[in-house]
Structure 1
Amino acid sequence: MTNHKDLHKLSSAGLLISLGIIYGDIGTSPLYVFKAIIGTQAIAADTILGGLSCIFWTLTLQTTVKYVIITLRADNKGEGGIFSLFSLVRRKAKWLIYPAMIGGCTLLADGMITPPITVSAAIEGLNAKYAGLPTVPIVVAIITALFIIQQFGTSLVGRAFGPLMFIWFTMMAILGGVYVFQFPSILKAINPYYAVHLLSAKPGSLLILGAVFLCTTGAEALYSDLGHCGRSNIRISWIYVKTCLLLNYMGQGVWLWQHQGNTLTAGVDNPFYALMPDWFLMFGIAIATIAAIIASQAMVTGSFTLISEAVRLNLWPKVKINYPSDQKGQLYVPSINWILWLGCIVVILIFRKSGNMEGAYGLAINMTFLMTTILVSVYLKRKKFPNYLIALFLIVYLSIESTFFVANMSKLLHGGWFTILLSGVLFSVMWTWASARRIKNRYVKFVEIEDYYPIISELSEDTSVPKYASQLVYLTSANFKSEIESKIMYSILQKKPKRADVYWLVHVDVMDEPYTREYIVDELIPNKLIRIDFKLGFRVEQRINLLFRLVVEELVKNGEVDITSRYASLNKYKIVGDFRFVVLEKILSRSNKLNLIERFIMDYYFILRHFSLSEERGFGLDLSFVTVEQVPLIVTTTENVKLNRIRI
């Protein structure tokens, strides 16, 4: 834990790690932004100055002010990202789950588009040296290798990322700086007049604005990776990164200025590679490819974190999560890894060139930005910021991002449709999982547990009933210790009565803080019925088997409970009794009273559940000690059914 805290302090190691983890996406955008702004048109002075002005103000308002200055304040015990932000504000209003889900889905969709566009843009630089070289197989090979190595953990590679990205940013600054030195007048593009003039006077300005948006696409990662690097390291390293980016963009502007009247030939004249002297080109392409792989890696690990949080917040089906290294926050989600890989390969095969992917790319992240703006404004309200400041924040950023959104929507037929489709599929999974849970909870019936104290005590001592287990454990969703699901009592008393020496009720509460690990023990009937409430943060792995064992060992050590077997022959030798977990699996009975939409939701939910981890695996229970009992979700009562008896 100390190591994690140290990284959060401002330090040279923290700054270097920030460079390696956070800026891959935003740092590789110079590979394709200016190429996208110019497009197929002839290079003109107003496009160059206006484009540079738009880039400067987008990076300043969108990345620096919104993310680095404002959004980084919304840290949840040191953690960032859209679900951490949602955890901070979710008690304010129920509808906030929707911007959180949309933002999460579009961020995942972005995870399928970032690797193809960055790696393609880097490899396409080879066309300058080897015209007509087929780049698609190379890109597919690099991306496949990237996804294969995920399962081994990236802690070793991660340490190398910082210095490599430092080389990348410094290279960009030098390449751009040389050109700016030749023509310093290009710096007048900082004047916002040129941006306004370009967008108001130029035909097709929406397409240009959509291309400009690509310069800020990695801004969300600054916030998502807050937990890895700490606020001060991000803020200080951003000064260096922004300087390098702007120098490179300005340098590209100077090169374009020298080639006015020409057009950019597809793949050959990328202004980014045009800055490089011929002898340096192969080195430049190699460094660009490494930077693209690092950008992709950051996006993939970000997706893993996002899914693990969504699982804990009950917004995604339970999936297998591995922890390949001891490093904090290092995790690997096999199912998501291969879904992302498949998505990336589909993107490459559909669009083939980085230029064709630009339309799909901007739209996804634009929607994430909009959702973050909504959630941050609620957070600022919660923190008692003056209303006029919150209104100003909302007006400024909803205006900027809505304008970008309209611009990106103009690329709907040029790839934007893919993002909408992808995000829609992911959203349907999240929405169904969350809605099905609400429907299920509506039909869960709770009873007062106190009413059952006498019968549980007597059943435990009743030797005429065969003993089911020495220690019998049920997972309960009842939030209050005074209540219990009627189905658990039905399982103990009626569905083959289950006699046990001690009955345990285990409840898991997912907390809004990321790394909480606490528990409460309630002895409802001394040495007969015990309830344990685990309070676990939304980033904590829910290994209930292990945690339960730890608590029981603690209770035994303190003499609060006796788990020695009550069988005379075993008790004599102080042998510990057996433990058995009972998991109640809800199934949808045929005679349900759900309306058409609810029935569709539940059908979709059961399909998803078929592919997800079962409850017992999700909680890390030892399967040899688990009994799964199926219980109908809705039991139709006989009250409203009329049946006439015919007497013969």
Structure 2
Amino acid sequence: MAVGAIGVVFGDIGTSPLYALRDTFAGHHPLPLDQLHVYGIISLMFWSMMIIVTLKYVSVIMRADNKGEGGSLALLALINQHTTGNRWGKGIILLGVFATALFYGDSMITPAVSVMGAIEGVAVYQPEMHPLIVPMVVTILIGLFLIQSRGTEKVATFFGPIMLFYFATIAVLGLVSIAQMPQVISALSPHHAVEMFLADPFRGFLAMGAAVLAVTGAEALYADMGHFGRSPIRMSWLAFVLPALVLNYLGQASLLMRNPAALESPFYFLAPDWFQWPLLIIASLAAVIASQAVISGAFSVTQQAIQLGFIPRMTIKHTSTAAGQIYIPVINFALMIAVILLVLVFQRSSNLTAAYGIAVTGAMLIDNFLLAVVLFKLWHWKKPLAIGLLTMFFLIDGGYLGANLTKIPDGGWVPLLMGIAIFTLLTTWSRGRALMRQGMAEGSIPLEVFTKSAHSSATRVPGTAVFMASTVAGVPSALLHNIKHNKVLHQRVVILTVHIEDVPYVEPAERSTVKDFGNGFYRLTLRFGFLEETDVPAALRTVTMCGEAFDMMKTSFFLSRQTLIPSDKPGMALWREKLFAWMLRNAASAMEFFRLPTNRVVELGSQLKI
């Protein structure tokens, strides 16, 4: 499990040495290449990894799991169980949603910057090949996105060993360089970072915008916890990944102190002549693996967001029987277009790193707010300890975010624009769904009243009719339309509501609850976790409290399809109403999402004002 975690979890942070130190001294706010600043930056990077990654994520946040699952949405679902009705609960939910929106921005930038940072080694070793870098990067990325539909289970078995070899390689290269200037090890002392800020406070602050690149991917440790578990991730980080990264950064610092001309690419110039092309191949494979991990993460987060009601239903394909191996065509295509556009527009990894930091630091800062709720409301920590820890995290993450905000004109606007756009989509869908349910509930008839009158006023026909309902109260519009126009009722009528719980998985014993209204009428509720596939026919086969067992060939599923029409008193701004209507029209059908048999579904339309 630890080897597997190295292959998936640490790809993002593991490829940071390709560009992090270089961009600090040759990026948008370059520092002087002298001992004060080199030692200061190495100290800053090391202690950032110790405080942000080791203390904040590995030691504290990873303890806040939702039945083993991690990530902003899983944590948000956990918090939501304990904050319902609180006046600040809605604000925490909005922050969690914005962190998710920033994650999508991160998942667009990571493949572009990682692959480009690796392939730029071609120009380091063969300058005449520089014009080929962008076409090579675009080709690799297109190939990476095209294989997603086939699944990654087979190639994923090689991810761990490849990344293991990559980390071992960069550690050895760092050690060889350190041996030529052993005193560089003293750069790990925190006093060097303090000296740099005291001697050059403004430049030191700006340099934080590049130094944070050393911890990009820290949130992936938490997000991927459900796949590998807390202990394997901790062991991999502390025993292998962290030492390898520190040795490589120290090796790059040693090289820069001995040969300032190596600033063009201190990572690649660590390699001796005979190992240059092998290093290029190893680093390129690591960059592709890092990109694959982020793409898979985007699929996983989208599935969670759909289940929790923040994103419209989408077609989700399972590429393997293994948990988490899913493919979402819409997300894959959108990411591919966005990543390729980023590569074509920015042309160099150093230009892209300006856009990189804001998404990462923004998500890290939001995690602090979520952590605050966990510490005070869920774990009930003593206030002095919790406040002291949170103050340190807020100061560090706030400083990093502030430094990155200075890069907005150089490309930092990209993740902000993406984040705001995606946040608008997510909140519009959530608000629109709430208004729809409210509108449908206002004119609904209690099921108890309906069953008594409908039983004697309609002809009963053989078979089972399942009417899908979004709420557990009232009569679904499809049932009302059916009896109004067709004047018939099946012998068994089941009102079915699918409810997504704030937990990743639901126990089989808690999957279904049934209420019998007599005369063949039942209200059935099926519960799924936010990481489970909503396979309604499979769940119905396990239901034994609805009379006889369900036979799909004798069961018809009736779905309501709403068409939105303008309201005299709109529940949200007109442009958001139109946006919601567009999202509703383009959402995947309930038939596909709930895995209903295509030849057993009837859709009945209705109009609705929101």
Q: Is the counterpart of residue 545 in structure 1 residue 537 in structure 2?
A: yes
Q: Is the counterpart of residue 507 in structure 1 residue 497 in structure 2?
A: yes
How does 1:56-75 map onto structure 2 within 5 Å? 56-75=46-65
How does 1:442-461 map onto structure 2 within 5 Å? 442-445=438-441, 446-459=444-457
Larger Rg computed on CA atoms = 1
Q: Is the counterpart of residue 392 in structure 1 residue 388 in structure 2?
A: yes
Q: Distance in 1 between matches of 2:326 and 2:114?
A: 23
Q: Distance in 1 between matches of 2:517 and 2:455?
A: 8
Letter in 1 for 2:525: D
The alpha carbon displacement at 1:310 in A equals: 0.3
Q: Is the counterpart of residue 470 in structure 1 residue 463 in structure 2?
A: yes
Q: Give the TM-score of the pair, scaled to structure 1.
A: 0.88
Structure-2 change in CA distance of 1:394 and 1:562 (3 Å)? closer
Question: Secondary structure of the residue that 1:72 maps to in structure 2?
Answer: helix
Letter in 2 for 1:206: F
Q: Distance in 2 between matches of 1:448 and 1:489?
A: 13
Q: Distance in 2 between matches of 1:634 and 1:287?
A: 57
Which of 595, 604, 608 is the matching residue for 1:629? 604
Q: Distance in 2 between matches of 1:55 and 1:562?
A: 62
Letter in 1 for 2:453: I
Residue 143 of structure 1 is matched in structure 2 by: 141
How does 1:423-438 map onto structure 2 within 5 Å? 423-438=419-434
1:568-612 CA distances to partner (integer Å, 9 max, x unpaired)?
xxxxxxxx973221111222234x223484432221011112222
Unmatched 5+ stretches in structure 2:
84-88
- Contact 2:437–2:471 (CA<8 Å) still a contact in 1? no
Q: Is the counterpart of residue 410 in structure 1 residue 402 in structure 2?
A: no
Residue 497 of structure 1 is matched in structure 2 by: 487
The alpha carbon displacement at 1:523 in A equals: 4.4
1:51-106 CA distances to partner (integer Å, 9 max, x unpaired)?
10110111001000000000110111111111111110013123222111111111
Which of 327, 340, 343 is the matching residue for 1:345? 340
The alpha carbon displacement at 1:193 in A equals: 1.9
Which of 111, 116, 120 is the matching residue for 1:120? 116
- Contact 2:262–2:269 (CA<8 Å) still a contact in 1? no
The alpha carbon displacement at 1:17 in A equals: 0.5
- Contact 1:311–1:318 (CA<8 Å) still a contact in 2? yes
Question: Secondary structure of the residue that 1:524 maps to in structure 2?
Answer: strand
- Contact 1:115–1:293 (CA<8 Å) still a contact in 2? yes
Letter in 2 for 1:24: G
The alpha carbon displacement at 1:454 in A equals: 1.9
Q: Is the counterpart of residue 618 in structure 1 residue 593 in structure 2?
A: yes
Residue 577 of structure 2 is matched in structure 1 by: 602
Residue 167 of structure 2 is matched in structure 1 by: 169
Q: Distance in 2 between matches of 1:632 and 1:611?
A: 17
Question: Secondary structure of the residue that 2:186 maps to in structure 1?
Answer: helix
- Contact 1:168–1:291 (CA<8 Å) still a contact in 2? yes
Question: Secondary structure of the residue that 1:444 maps to in structure 2?
Answer: helix
Structure-2 change in CA distance of 1:263 and 1:180 (3 Å)? closer
Q: Percent identity?
A: 30
Q: Distance in 1 between matches of 2:102 and 2:401?
A: 13
The alpha carbon displacement at 1:249 in A equals: 0.3
Question: Secondary structure of the residue that 1:534 maps to in structure 2?
Answer: strand
Q: Distance in 2 between matches of 1:425 and 1:401?
A: 23
Q: Distance in 1 between matches of 2:586 and 2:505?
A: 28
How does 1:127-206 map onto structure 2 within 5 Å? 127-133=123-129, 134=131, 135-202=133-200, 203-206=202-205
The alpha carbon displacement at 1:119 in A equals: 0.8
The alpha carbon displacement at 1:338 in A equals: 1.0
Q: Distance in 1 between matches of 2:522 and 2:390?
A: 50
- Contact 1:214–1:362 (CA<8 Å) still a contact in 2? yes
Unmatched 5+ stretches in structure 1:
1-13, 565-575, 636-648
Q: Is the counterpart of residue 578 in structure 1 residue 554 in structure 2?
A: yes
Q: Is the counterpart of residue 529 in structure 1 residue 510 in structure 2?
A: no
The alpha carbon displacement at 1:452 in A equals: 2.4
Residue 235 of structure 1 is matched in structure 2 by: 234
Letter in 2 for 1:586: Q
Which of 74, 84, 89 is the matching residue for 2:79? 89
The alpha carbon displacement at 1:447 in A equals: 3.3
Q: Distance in 2 between matches of 1:389 and 1:94?
A: 26
The alpha carbon displacement at 1:438 in A equals: 1.8
Structural RMSD (CA): 2.0
Which of 397, 416, 422 is the matching residue for 2:418? 422
Compare 411-420 and 194-203 and name the one that shifted more.
194-203
The alpha carbon displacement at 1:551 in A equals: 3.5
Q: Give the TM-score of the pair, scaled to structure 2.
A: 0.93
Residue 213 of structure 2 is matched in structure 1 by: 214
Question: Secondary structure of the residue that 1:315 maps to in structure 2?
Answer: coil
Question: Secondary structure of the residue that 2:127 maps to in structure 1?
Answer: coil
Q: Is the counterpart of residue 519 in structure 1 residue 511 in structure 2?
A: yes
- Contact 1:491–1:497 (CA<8 Å) still a contact in 2? no
Structure 1 or 2: more helix by fraction: 2
Count how many residue pairs are aligned between Structure 1 and Structure 2: 592
Structure-2 change in CA distance of 1:285 and 1:489 (3 Å)? closer
Question: Secondary structure of the residue that 2:317 maps to in structure 1?
Answer: coil
1:536-568 CA distances to partner (integer Å, 9 max, x unpaired)?
0000111223322x135x458xxx33779xxxx
The alpha carbon displacement at 1:111 in A equals: 0.7
Q: Distance in 1 between matches of 2:128 and 2:492?
A: 74
The alpha carbon displacement at 1:276 in A equals: 0.6
Letter in 2 for 1:188: S
Q: Distance in 1 between matches of 2:66 and 2:585?
A: 33
Compare 488-497 and 411-420 and name the one that shifted more.
488-497
Q: Distance in 1 between matches of 2:533 and 2:53?
A: 32
Residue 86 of structure 2 is matched in structure 1 by: none
Letter in 1 for 2:593: G
The alpha carbon displacement at 1:252 in A equals: 0.6
Structure-2 change in CA distance of 1:457 and 1:427 (3 Å)? same
- Contact 1:80–1:226 (CA<8 Å) still a contact in 2? yes
Structure-2 change in CA distance of 1:259 and 1:41 (3 Å)? farther
1:296-352 CA distances to partner (integer Å, 9 max, x unpaired)?
011110110000000000101111111111111111111111111111101100101
Q: Is the counterpart of residue 300 in structure 1 residue 295 in structure 2?
A: yes
- Contact 2:455–2:519 (CA<8 Å) still a contact in 1? no
Letter in 2 for 1:23: F
Question: Secondary structure of the residue that 2:542 maps to in structure 1?
Answer: helix
Q: Distance in 1 between matches of 2:48 and 2:328?
A: 34
1:126-181 CA distances to partner (integer Å, 9 max, x unpaired)?
11221131200010011111111111111111110111111111111111011222
